[in-house]
Structure 1
Amino acid sequence: MTNLVTGDKGDDEEESDEEEEEEHEDKPEKPKQSNVPLLVTLSKKTGPSLEFRCTAFPDKIVIKDMWVTFPDDPSKDELAYEGPSFRVLDEKLRKAFHRYIEIRGITPSMINFLHEYMINKDSKEHLLWLKTLKNFVTS
């Protein structure tokens, strides 16, 4: 136990701290997987829309929440009950919603394409900015 006055640790604690540090050194950290947060809105010509709050990873899309919105009548959006949490829905229903958005083009490959596009666009804009800056400084 740590002495509250001096801050010294007992012998047992020092040994356990060293063991924990060694354990952490043995386990390589997993690199964080890139992800893109998404708000997917599926709508028809008239009537309510279905919105999904998702997180897209390189190999899968995770639906966090979903709800119905009423673009034609925003006052209906303020209904007290938004539905159950997505994770408590029946597994078959969750799979059906994943398939529903997949059929409509919301797939990991599409998200990967958009992610690469965003990176390339940012790089091109940065390069253009550097060229503009160079032209300004050298003229």
Structure 2
Amino acid sequence: MWKRAGMKAILQPWRILASRPASTKSTANVSSAVNSMILQSLKEHYFEVSKMTPPPKVNPPTPFKLVKGSLQSSGPVLTRSFGNEEISISVMRLRNIIAAFEDDGDDVTSQLFLHVDVSKPGQSHSLLFLCGLYPDAIGIQSISTRAKSEDSGFAMDLDDKMKNAIHGYLEERGINESLFSFLQAWLYVKDHRQLMEWFKSVGTFITEKKEA
């Protein structure tokens, strides 16, 4: 995302320091010049990202509900009840939104990864499924059991026969390719928001005055 030419321009003032003794005044001037270049680049990228067209608003498939505050956290995105079970879904992807500014500019996410947690009241453990989600299919990578108070558990790789059985289990609970459109759009909004906040926080850090 950072262009080589831009980084070269940012680094050039430091070559001046290497060629002659630095005074306090010259060091301050160089520091100010570097900060100005960085801030200008941040500003340009901020406005470039702000002009990106968001995807059409998509609602989660019924009966899934969006977890409140999920855009600001790394936890579950969707939740639903199924009988006496509580099901929550977390999502991540291979490619970051920054890739949209490189080479082909294509920001379509073609593969998502789901963590599906199925729990029951009174049970000390829950089932955790790791799945690959595509626009037209879902693939099951592994299944594990874990204590509800822990972040990880024992994972088991599945053979084809077991995967087919698990497909039916998840399909019955509405966990299939119908989730793709919503989760793809949700990830775009989350990444876009985080990127905008990143530009702001870096700019604020650079411009913040030192305490006396």
Query: Going by fraction, where is helix more abundant, 1 or 2?
Result: 1
- Higher RCO by CA contacts (8 Å cutoff, separation 6 or greater): 2
What TM-score do the two structures reach when normalised by structure 2?
0.35
Query: Going by fraction, where is strand more abundant, 1 or 2?
Result: 2
| Larger Rg belongs to | 1
